[in-house]
Amino acid sequence: MPKQVGRPRGRPKDEGKRDAILDAARSLLLARGLEVTTEEIAAQAGVAKATLYANFSDKDDLIEAVIRRESDRTVTDEDFERSRSGPAEVALAEYGKRYLHFINQRETLGWDRLISLAAARNPELPRRFFSAGPGRGQKMLTGIIDAAMERGELKKGDASAAADDLAGLWIGFTNLEIKLGARPPLSPAEINARALRGVQLFTLIYGTTNAD
């Protein structure tokens, strides 16, 4: 399982302050990008700079923790474990709804921009930030599909490639339209319909009932 990031050894003295730091960092990073300083984040969170560094080793560690929390709010580790053992179509449809709900937000453009610009500071940062957020989701979807393949609910094959296929069925060109402001975000009904349709098409390709 992906490890928890952004948390030093031992329990932080005040989880409320840690959450306030994460909230402030999220707000400022989306508004201003990587140029925001830890001093500004601490000030907006209403904590001392020393408190920030008691919870996070440096700014990159803090950014990674913010991105990981965004991912965790979409699908928690507990949700993932339940999904791995549940019926494939149900688990994939539920995952698709959560995934589409997250990428349906225009503010995700801020995360895309932040991750891509991180390379100017350190070539390793984009991969590190990707792993904490989108990469974690990618591994979870792959894990759900792999478990379904092992149970015989889906045809055996490359689970990672299958996850990529399913994500493409969910997103299509619509995600790009939303990001560019060419259309409004999906409604809850559209999200549900898109998630279900993607899984239905996916099972036409990978479902064992369609095997010869």
Residue 199 lies in a domain: yes
Per residue in 170-197, pLDDT (tens digit) is 999 998 898 888 999 999 999 999 999 9
Residue 98 lies in a domain: yes
Residue 95 belongs to a domain with what CATH number? 1.10.357.10
State whether 38 and 80 are in the same domain.
Answer: no
Q: Domain containing 182: what range? A: 75-210
Stretch 149-178: mean pLDDT: 95
Count CA atoms within 13 Å of residue 93 on its CB side: 14
On average, the pLDDT of the chain sits at 88
State whether 39 and 97 are in the same domain.
Answer: no
Per residue in 31-57, pLDDT (tens digit) is 888 889 999 999 999 999 999 999 999
In 3D space, the residue among 103, 134, 102 whose CA is nearest the CA of residue 116 turns out to be: 134
Q: Please tell me the distance from the alpha carbon of residue 69 to that of residue 129, in angstroms, as a whole number.
A: 12
Say if residue 176 is exposed, middle or buried (CB neighbours under 10 Å; 0-12, 13-18, 19+). Answer: exposed
Per residue in 69-100, pLDDT (tens digit) is 988 888 788 878 877 777 999 999 999 999 99
Contact criterion met (CB below 8 Å) for 22 and 66: yes
User: What does the DSSP assignment read for 50-63?
Assistant: HHHHHH-SSHHHHH
Give me the sign of the Cα torsion angle 106, 107, 108, 112: positive
